[in-house]
Amino acid sequence: MKKASIRKSALKIAAVLVVLVAVATAAFFRSKPMLDPADSPRISLITADYENGGESYRSTMEQTDISQKLNNELVALFQGTQMRNVRFLRPQSFRMEPGSVYLNVWVETDRGSMLVNLSTNSDYNSAQFGDTHYAIVNGPDLYQKVYDRLSPLLVAHGSPWSSTEPPTATPAPTPTMTPPPEEPEGPPSQSPTDTPPQVTQPDQYQYSTFMQNIKVYNVEDTSLTPEVAAQQLMTLFLDDLSRPSQVRTFQITQYKNLRVEVLPTTELKATAVLGYGLTAEEVGKMFWIVLPEYEFQYTGTLSPIGECPSGKWLNQEDQGNVRGFLLKQTEHGYSLQSRYQ
């Protein structure tokens, strides 16, 4: 009798646990509206990435290009669409497929920013808050509705929907679009890491500003913080420009007081994302914008300064418009590259 009673109690407890798990699961995956009207949502930026003839292109509509009518229509679509938590982690990158269009709509609200990612590729569809992705219920339907509203408007911004003219969009901000420089081989500067930072050597062309050096610098040490990795990689970047080269119009003779500011891309506003030329996949927890500060002297000619004033220490601001660097966490450490386009 006592054993039977214990068995019944155990079964009751198990049944209760099953019910609790089921309720918790249902609550976790319960759908909810993408936007709350009380948060005063407004569209701040729209981009469309696509492939044409083997090249990647981006069309952009900034807030000043977005009419109140279009703003209201898109907000209404998002308010009428449901989202839910995802069962599995989203892919961190996508290969652009010919004929596919990847739409990204930034929505500012009183509580923060939301990035809506839409495409014919169902894995790409998501509502993104920082680096947290939510699945869009019936994402293909929402993509088609947004596509229909944007297709006649983005033609003026170089979109792929112009049937009579070739695309005129500016190239998408991907590292392979700009011919990178080549430096003569030489020993890289050593940093206090398990594996010295490495440099990816691109093709040759002549340049006259620091930021035009868009080689990729790598450090293989997973124990580093983003701040320490950025400091080490910026040191390698400046050391690289301190070596003689025939493909540059200048050479750093000395630098000092290097400091770096590291900004998570997930915390940037839409205008900053556009300003740094970030793609949707670069707005994630593995990416940071690095803003360095340092003083330097050089020989030769540096644009837009010209020759270095004798004995004067210059800084970043003297170089004009600087878009920063992109720091990426990799499988073995970190990589750093100039955002020059």
Across-strand partners of 255?
A: 296
Residues 76, 118 within the same domain: yes
Residues 98, 145 within the same domain: yes
Q: Per the confidence metrics, is the pTM higher than 0.85?
A: no
Across-strand partners of 49?
A: 58, 102
Instruction: Flag residues of the chain having pLDDT under 50.
Output: 19, 21-29, 92, 156-194, 199-205
* In-domain check, residue 252: yes
Residues 184, 162 within the same domain: no
pLDDT at position 216 is 92
* In-domain check, residue 104: yes
Structure tokens at 293: 């500060």
Residues 141, 223 within the same domain: no
Structure tokens at 244: 């003689």
pLDDT tens-digit profile of 29-67?
467 788 888 888 888 888 887 776 667 677 778 888 888
Calculate the alpha carbon distances from 141 to 51, 159, 238 in Å: 22, 21, 49
* In-domain check, residue 7: no
Residues 65, 180 within the same domain: no
Residues 151, 212 within the same domain: no
Residue type present at position 190: Q
Q: Which domain holds residue 255?
A: 175-338
pLDDT at position 192 is 42
Across-strand partners of 302?
A: 306
Q: Which residue has the tokens 């450490």?
A: 333
